Amino acid sequence: MSTTAFDQQNLITPDGHTLYVAQYGQVAGPAAVVLHGGPGSGTQPSVLEWFDLSRQRVVLFDQRGAGLSQPQGEIAHNDSNKLVADIELIRSHLNISRWMVVGGSWGATLALLYAGQFTQYVSALVLRGSFLASAREMTWFFQSLQAMVPQAWARMTQDWNEQQQSNVLQTLCQALLHGSSEQANDAARRWALYEEAIMQAMAGQMMSESIVPSATASQSEKPVSVRTLNKYRLQAHYLSHACFTSEADLQSMTAQLADTPAILIHGTHDLVCPPENAMRLKQAMPHAQLRWVAKGGHTPADAGIAAALKQAVMDQCAYL
């Protein structure tokens, strides 16, 4: 089946950002929008595998500053409320009356914020590996997770003093948002290598030699790609502002969703967004179905997670 977009366009927002938007499948079919993670990761065509493009209409877009949206890496006029407004701008612009909202990780956060404000336009929700924008999760990922990936954490914090190591997120954000180009490049590399090691750990793979700490290894051997630097700069911008929301805000949004069919998918071995998140979200959304993926990790590239997403999208189609 063809995964070629039947429509691609650049949608200009009222405050000067340009959003890359692509549509796939059938223009007359029931619609769904996929919200990518990050913040700043950009959309991936591989998500189309979750849908039946012979009968569905799927909208993909890059959030402000991410992927093919312009200006790339821009943090001005870039916050959670702006992203929610962008989603609604896209729906209205494409003349879609209602759609299924699918989001993973940060995309799940954004899906909850959007659905809580524009409930009347949301036919169903599918949330994977949900991130709840809490200080608890920040501490887990940047500090406590060192117990699970000690070599990677040591590599990330190599040559830092005790104060920097005790607040990894602040140290990385300071370099990415206020440091020199060399410091920003160094911080992006450290962060990227740390994430790579966590993904390897979830997949049960041995850590690659490039991630093992070395007394002689240089953290800034060569520049990271522009896209990688932009991705982590955007993440630093959002995380340093607690994603411009809170877990309490997200829970208040769920009060509007009692009549919205929702499926929560979470891997039991998710190290990025811990399984506790799914339990907390289920408590706030009693009507939602919580589907655990045994030994599943965080990324939708995980076969078990991908299969669960495909099944959830199929099941939610009954509401489209």
Q: From first to last of its 320 residues, what are the pLDDT tens digits of the chain?
A: 568 999 999 999 999 999 999 999 999 999 999 999 999 999 999 999 999 999 999 999 999 999 999 999 999 999 999 999 999 999 999 999 999 999 999 999 999 999 999 999 999 999 999 999 999 999 999 999 999 999 999 999 999 999 999 999 999 999 999 999 999 999 999 999 999 999 999 988 755 544 444 433 444 467 899 999 999 999 999 999 999 999 999 999 999 999 999 999 999 999 999 999 999 999 999 999 999 999 999 999 999 999 999 999 999 988 77
- Given the structure tokens 């990790």, which residue do they identify? 297
Torsion of CA 38, 23, 52, 121, to 10 degrees: 80
Q: Which of 79, 86, 270, 302 is catalytic?
A: 270
Interacting residues of 255 by C-beta distance below 8 A, sequence separation 6+ = 116
pLDDT at 186: 97
pLDDT at 178: 97
User: Which has the closest alpha carbon to 300: 129, 141, 63?
Assistant: 129
Active-site annotation holds for 220: no
Question: What are the start and end residues of each CATH 3.40.50.1820 domain in the chain?
Answer: 7-133+245-319
Task: Give CA separation, 247 vs 219, 275, 302, in Å.
Answer: 34, 15, 26
Active-site annotation holds for 93: no
- Given the structure tokens 């049960």, which residue do they identify? 204
Measured between its terminal Cα atoms, the distance across the chain in Å is 21
CB-based burial of residue 292 (10 Å sphere; 0-12 exposed, 13-18 middle, 19+ buried)? middle
- The CA distance from 56 to 26, in Å, is 6
Select 7-133+245-319's CATH number: 3.30.830.10, 3.40.50.1820, 3.40.50.1100, 3.40.50.300: 3.40.50.1820
Interacting residues of 76 by C-beta distance below 8 A, sequence separation 6+ = none
Q: Give strand ranges (E) for 43-112.
A: 57-61, 99-104
Q: Which of 41, 80, 105, 130 is catalytic?
A: 105
- The CA distance from 318 to 204, in Å, is 36
Active-site annotation holds for 186: no
DSSP H helical ranges for 122-225: 135-142, 150-156, 162-166, 168-178, 181-202
pLDDT at 223: 85
Contact between 264 and 282 under an 8 Å Cβ cutoff? The reply is yes
> Coil, helix or strand for 64?
coil
Contact between 99 and 120 under an 8 Å Cβ cutoff? The reply is no
